[in-house]
């Protein structure tokens, strides 16, 4: 049982330590109820997550248009990932 739990916890996606010399990739998404952000970096063996963030929308913001919700997701992502983006020259934004 313990070995199975260790295997599940060590399985992808495992957060990587950020490499400050590589560009960060920020992916955002907004639904009718929440905002989500994933910050990743590309390594030799593929793209790996650095951080995850999510946030529930307040009742008033649930009524926003899809475009406005997506923009809220971008703003939220930049705020939550600020420590990764300050001082960097590159940010890949998807």
User: Residues 27-33: contacts with CB within 8 Å, 24+ apart?
Assistant: 27/94, 28/70, 28/73, 28/74, 28/76, 28/77, 29/70, 29/73, 30/66, 30/69, 30/70, 30/72, 30/73, 31/69, 32/57, 32/62, 32/69, 33/57, 33/62
Its CATH architecture, for the domain 15-93, is: Roll (3.10)
Q: From first to last of the 94 residues of the chain, give the pLDDT tens digit.
A: 778 877 776 776 678 889 988 889 999 999 999 999 999 999 888 888 899 999 999 999 999 999 999 999 999 999 998 888 887 766 767 6
């Amino acid at each position: 049982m313990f070995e199975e739990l260790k295997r599940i916890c060590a399985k992808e996606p495992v957060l990587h330590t950020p490499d400050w010399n590589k560009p960060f990739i920020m992916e955002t998404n907004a639904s009718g109820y929440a905002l989500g952000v994933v910050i990743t970096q590309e390594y030799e063996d593929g793209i790996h997550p650095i951080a995850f963030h999510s946030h529930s929308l307040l009742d008033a913001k649930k009524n926003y248009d899809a475009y406005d919700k997506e923009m809220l997701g971008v703003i939220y992502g930049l705020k939550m990932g600020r420590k990764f983006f300050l001082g960097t020259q590159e940010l890949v934004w998807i």
